[in-house]
């Protein structure tokens, strides 16, 4: 609590006591009874406003550790307390309370409209805290923002950014502060809530004369050996999710899908992986598949493109000498 607030509280406390003594225990205020009572009520309102402000200020200082959120919360609470105090003072000194309430409502609405972004961010923060749509540590996407949640404050969410100019869902090194109002009108895509795995794919291009059946068998055997822990954990998580969601499939086994594309055979290898290790696992699978296929003479990686080369006709040059 600031020194100015302490002085104000002491002053209005003394003023309430003095006015109450004059009004109820002496005859000095006989001719000004109504005015004195109004002054007592007004002093009490201001005193209560200061006390409420000090109380909320202490709570904010103890509970809110982020400097920006602390500042914003104190400003918002100060505005609300001021509005309540002004409205109460108007009612004390004027009799036409209906007109005052209407005017006070219009004034309050103007303040709310002016600070609508602040209120939207605060409302979004409350929704996040109670709905638990994501938590610190989750990987989420909001519009074009991707990242891991570092902190959820009252007015903004802090993300460690991934993607942008970096491939494979790896960190870019930038910190994003996203206003919490995004939960009111945007879809939050959570990579890790309830089910902490995603499906990823590796595409291998085979030449047409390759033994694609052997390539498929080798790819499945190699990949299953590398990601068997992920498959087991993902199956357990899916079993736990059945208690909360209607699931139509539990199939997290590795799959291979074949496709003919132009002059090549495309082999799409689909598997489950921890989203935060996607690039590492992708690299591990590709390196192991390259080593396996290198030992197979009937499996050729790549495509064959026919290029027709036309031989240019021979050009004879004739030189003329003139006199």
For the 198-294 domain, the top CATH level (class) is: alpha beta
Q: What is the pLDDT of residues 50-72, one digit of tens each?
A: 888 888 888 888 887 777 677 77
Start-to-end CA span in the chain (Å): 112
What kind of architecture, by CATH, is found in domain 131-190? Roll (2.30)
Burial of 33 (0-12, 13-18, 19+ CB in 10 A): exposed
Q: How far apart are CA 162 and CA 188, in angstroms?
A: 16
Burial of 289 (0-12, 13-18, 19+ CB in 10 A): buried
Q: How many residues does the chain have?
A: 323
Residue 284 pLDDT? 93
Closest CA to 205 of 295, 307, 288, 289: 289
Residue 104 pLDDT? 64
The values of phi and psi at residue 77, to 5°, are -65, -40
Residue 310 pLDDT? 36
Q: 149 near 157, Cβ under 8 Å? A: yes
Neighbours of 29 (CB within 10 A): 18
Residue 313 pLDDT? 47
What is the Cα 322 distance to its own chain's centre? 86
Parts of the chain with a pLDDT under 50: 305-313, 315, 317, 320, 323
Please spell the DSSP secondary structure of 63-86, one letter per residue: H---HHHHHHHHHHHHHHHHHHHH
Residue 220 pLDDT? 93
Residue 305 pLDDT? 47
What is the Cα 272 distance to its own chain's centre? 24
Q: What is the pLDDT of residues 10-44, one digit of tens each?
A: 888 888 888 777 777 776 656 666 777 788 888 88
Closest CA to 125 of 57, 179, 74, 185: 179
What is the Cα 232 distance to its own chain's centre? 29
Task: Give residue limits of the domains in the chain.
Answer: 3-114, 131-190, 198-294
Q: How far apart are CA 129 and CA 77, in angstroms?
A: 20
Q: How far apart are CA 152 and CA 138, in angstroms?
A: 11
Query: Where do the DSSP E strands lie in 143-218?
Result: 145-152, 156-162, 171-179, 188-190, 198-206
Residue 214 pLDDT? 93
Residue 271 pLDDT? 93
Q: How far apart are CA 175 and CA 180, in angstroms?
A: 15
């Amino acid at each position: 609590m600031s020194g100015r607030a302490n002085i104000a509280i002491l002053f209005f406390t003394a003023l309430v006591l003095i006015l109450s003594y004059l009004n109820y225990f002496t005859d000095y205020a006989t001719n000004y009874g109504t005015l004195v009572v109004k002054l007592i009520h007004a002093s009490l309102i201001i005193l209560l406003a200061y006390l409420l402000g000090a109380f909320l200020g202490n709570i904010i200082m103890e509970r809110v550790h982020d400097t920006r959120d602390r500042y914003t919360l104190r400003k918002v609470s100060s505005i609300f307390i001021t509005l309540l105090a002004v409205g109460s003072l108007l009612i004390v000194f004027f009799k036409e309370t209906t007109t005052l309430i209407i005017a006070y409502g219009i004034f309050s609405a103007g303040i709310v409209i002016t600070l609508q972004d602040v209120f939207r961010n605060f409302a979004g923060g409350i929704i996040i805290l109670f709905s638990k749509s994501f938590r610190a540590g989750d990987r989420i996407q909001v519009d074009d923002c991707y990242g891991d949640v570092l902190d959820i404050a009252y007015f903004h969410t802090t993300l460690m950014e991934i993607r942008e100019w970096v491939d494979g869902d790896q960190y870019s090194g930038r910190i994003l502060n996203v206003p919490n109002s995004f939960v009111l009108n945007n879809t939050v895509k959570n990579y890790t809530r309830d089910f902490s795995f995603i499906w990823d794919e590796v595409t291998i291009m085979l030449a047409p004369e390759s033994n694609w059946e052997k390539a498929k068998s080798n790819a499945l055997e190699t990949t299953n050996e590398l990601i068997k822990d992920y498959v087991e954990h993902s199956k357990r998580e899916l079993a736990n999710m059945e208690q909360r969601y209607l699931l139509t499939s539990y199939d997290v086994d590795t799959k291979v899908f074949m496709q003919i594309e132009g002059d090549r055979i495309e082999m799409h290898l689909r598997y489950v992986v921890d989203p935060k290790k996607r690039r590492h696992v992708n690299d591990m699978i590709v390196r192991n598949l390259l080593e396996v296929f290198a030992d197979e003479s009937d499996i050729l990686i790549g495509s064959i493109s026919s290029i027709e080369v036309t031989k240019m006709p021979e050009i004879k040059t004739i030189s003329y000498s003139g006199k």
